[in-house]
Amino acid sequence: METTEICRLTEAAVAKVLVGRGVAAPHMRAKGRRSLPRWPFLGTAELWIPEGDDTERYELATSLNLSLVGVGIRCDEPLEPGVELSVAIHEPEVSFHGRAVVRHCTEMENDFLVGLEFLFSDS
């Protein structure tokens, strides 16, 4: 991947990928608890998780689904809800880098299902 294919995580950049994959109206609001629908997007996620001593822990995860405002991932270690972290989401079309906050973490049989909400610097 060329560095020109890595872009800042913005709602417009995510929308472009969703539209490119045939999601007709990624801005449509869903009914129920989740405010925006998510679509299956398997890929790789890199996480830089802050540690208590001003360091970061690096972890690879698998992205499962994507919406305009967040991503669902599976990872080997639990993440504390409310923690802000740096993230890179890698899709075939583009890689995004930016910040996110952990919204939930559910223990599964062999790993953890985590919901990340994007923190857009342009909002």
Give, for 18, the enclosing helix (H) or strand (E): helix 11-20
The tokens for 14 are: 């995510």
| Four-CA torsion 48, 53, 54, 57, nearest 10 degrees | -10
Average of per-residue pLDDT values in the chain: 85
Residue with tokens 């802050």: 50
pLDDT value of position 30? 45
* Percentage of the chain lying above the pLDDT 70 cut: 83
pLDDT digits (tens, 9 = 90+) for 44-85: 999 999 998 889 999 999 999 998 889 999 999 999 999 999
pLDDT digits (tens, 9 = 90+) for 13-54: 888 888 888 875 555 444 444 556 677 788 999 999 999 888
pLDDT digits (tens, 9 = 90+) for 99-113: 999 999 999 999 999
Query: CATH class for domain 3-18+36-119?
Result: mainly beta
Q: Please, which pLDDT band fits residue 4 given cuts at 50, 70 and 90?
A: low
Indicate the domain borders of the chain. Answer: 3-18+36-119
